[in-house]
Amino acid sequence: MTKLWGGRFTKPTNKLVEEYTSSINFDQKLAKQDIQGSLAHVDMLGKCGIISQNEVSDIKKGLSIIEGKIEKGEVEFSVADEDIHMNIEKLLIEEIGPVGGKLHTGRSRNDQVATDMHLYMREKTELMVELVEQVQSALLQQAEQHVETILPGYTHLQRAQPISFGHHLLAYFWMFERDKERLQDSLKRINWSPLGAAALAGTPYSIDREMTAEALGFERVYPNSLDAVSDRDFILEFLSISSIMITHISRLSEELILWSSQEFNFVELDDAFCTGSSIMPQKKNPDVPELLRGKTGRIYGNLMGLLTLLKGLPLAYNKDMQEDKEGMFDTAETLEGALSLLAPMLESMEVNVGQMRNAVKEDYSNATDIADYLAIKGMPFRQAHEVIGQIVLYGIQNEKYLLDLTIEEYQQFSDLFEEDIFEKLAPEQVVAARNSQGGTGFKQVHKQIQLAKQYL
Ligand code: ARG
């Protein structure tokens, strides 16, 4: 009987059960955090006089040897030892003898695994903050170059009003800013220490939870041992934040896909970020943004998976909770990949300024401005809207855009029209005029860029 918990058993575990219940194939990703938690725990056991200083140093030495071996890929984990916690404990006992068995004094795998996941989530959350900032600075860089680049702004994917391309890109900057803020805020809750809650009820040893919390860089300890071992809110929160973030990434990707189609031809993604077709030699496919859009499914799925996993669980630990890990790893890794690709793809994107500008010429997206022109001259806006509607219809029927109509044609619809209408209709003028706070007017976009810089 070689199981660490074998004492109470008379039969070996069924092989299929062993396979089915083990988590080592995925939770070995927590090896580093598991050792980090153990080092803090064993130090505390020594300082509190629960084990001797010699035992502490033997155990610490053993753990660092094991850590080195794991890093070098010299360790073969075993399914029979179920999970990363028992694999490492087993290796420790093999390395330093029975004294290794003292490591697990005053703790349980339940507070241990929760501690490991808090440490993992903190590392990934901090990494995500850095990666989001790289995406933000790529957006900002492009925005700065394209304050005066004009393209149609859309509603209902119909040309609505001309806008600055810089302004369009900055909209994403602020979405990512909120994502970053959510990540940073979540650190407050990630930084609670479950260590010392033991299996569910605490422990009779006089341990010092504040000491381990501090050693591990946590800000506080969970005040309730049952909550400490059964809380997975911090993972749910990460998965929620990630879901919101991938929604932003997916919307941006969708625009990049549209914009790089021949129909729009607004941008050209760098060759290094596109792939070809095995049959159609002319093709350059936007695979990266397509995949970013596609990855959204698994990230939402991981959130739904964990919500569903937790909803019916009684306190405290249940084996179901072992299922919390793969979705967490998958989301963290998927998002890491997405953000790492998005930044250089945006930086290297070519913008077809002329094509965007042409799109604005060949539409009626300056119609609101003629309505405003009449409204400023005293006509109620609702009535002006009706008049301009008739002018647009006239234009469509006569195949003329608003800038192509003559002053006589305008005056047929209202005698408020004068020659100055034409300068008001030039797209540069239309954009510049929208100088209300947060608007697309060039001055406002410059202000926005200054503000954005303060956030980076
Ligand atoms: N591998 C387990 C998990 O990830 C560790 C905790 C096991 N605790 C227990 N009482 N069986 O959930």
Give per-residue pLDDT as tens, 193-217.
999 999 999 999 999 999 999 999 9
Chain centroid, CA 314 distance in Å: 30
Centre of ligand 1 to C-alpha 112, Å, is 9
- What are the CA-CA distances from residue 105 to residues 46, 59, 141, 446 (Å)? 11, 12, 54, 61
Q: Is the CB of 445 under 6 A from ligand 1?
A: no
Instruction: For the chain, give percent helix, strand, coil, nearest 5.
Output: 65, 5, 30
The atom of ligand 1 lying closest to the CA of 23 is: 1
Q: Is the CB of 120 under 6 A from ligand 1?
A: no
- For Cα atoms 12, 93, 322, give the angle at the middle one, nearest 5 degrees: 55
Centre of ligand 1 to C-alpha 109, Å, is 6
Lowest mean pLDDT among 29-33, 277-281, 295-299, 350-354: 277-281
The atom of ligand 1 lying closest to the CA of 321 is: 12
Q: Is the CB of 112 under 6 A from ligand 1?
A: no
Instruction: Report pLDDT digits (tens) over 382-419.
Output: 999 999 999 999 999 999 999 999 999 999 999 999 99
User: 108 an active-site residue?
Assistant: no
**Across 44-57, average pLDDT:** 98
Q: Provide the whole-model pTM.
A: 0.94
- The structure tokens listed for 268 are 């050209």
Q: What is the pLDDT of residue 156?
A: 97
Residue in 156, 206, 278, 436 annotated catalytic = 156
Centre of ligand 1 to C-alpha 319, Å, is 6
Q: Is the CB of 87 under 6 A from ligand 1?
A: no
Whole-angstrom distance, CA of residue 237 vs CA of residue 252: 23
Centre of ligand 1 to C-alpha 80, Å, is 14
Q: What is the pLDDT of residue 92?
A: 98
User: 104 an active-site residue?
Assistant: no
**Across 7-26, average pLDDT:** 93
Of residues 283 and 197, more confidence is placed in 197
- Asked if 140 and 79 count as a contact pair (C-beta separation under 8 A), the reply is no
Q: Is the CB of 365 under 6 A from ligand 1?
A: no
Please provide the average confidence, as pLDDT, over all residues in the chain. Answer: 96
Helix (H), strand (E) counts: the chain? 19, 6
Centre of ligand 1 to C-alpha 31, Å, is 14
Q: Is the CB of 243 under 6 A from ligand 1?
A: no
The atom of ligand 1 lying closest to the CA of 199 is: 10
Q: Is the CB of 249 under 6 A from ligand 1?
A: no
Q: What are phi and psi of 226, to 5 degrees?
A: -65, -45
Report percent pLDDT > 90 for the chain.
92
3-state DSSP assignment of residue 169: helix
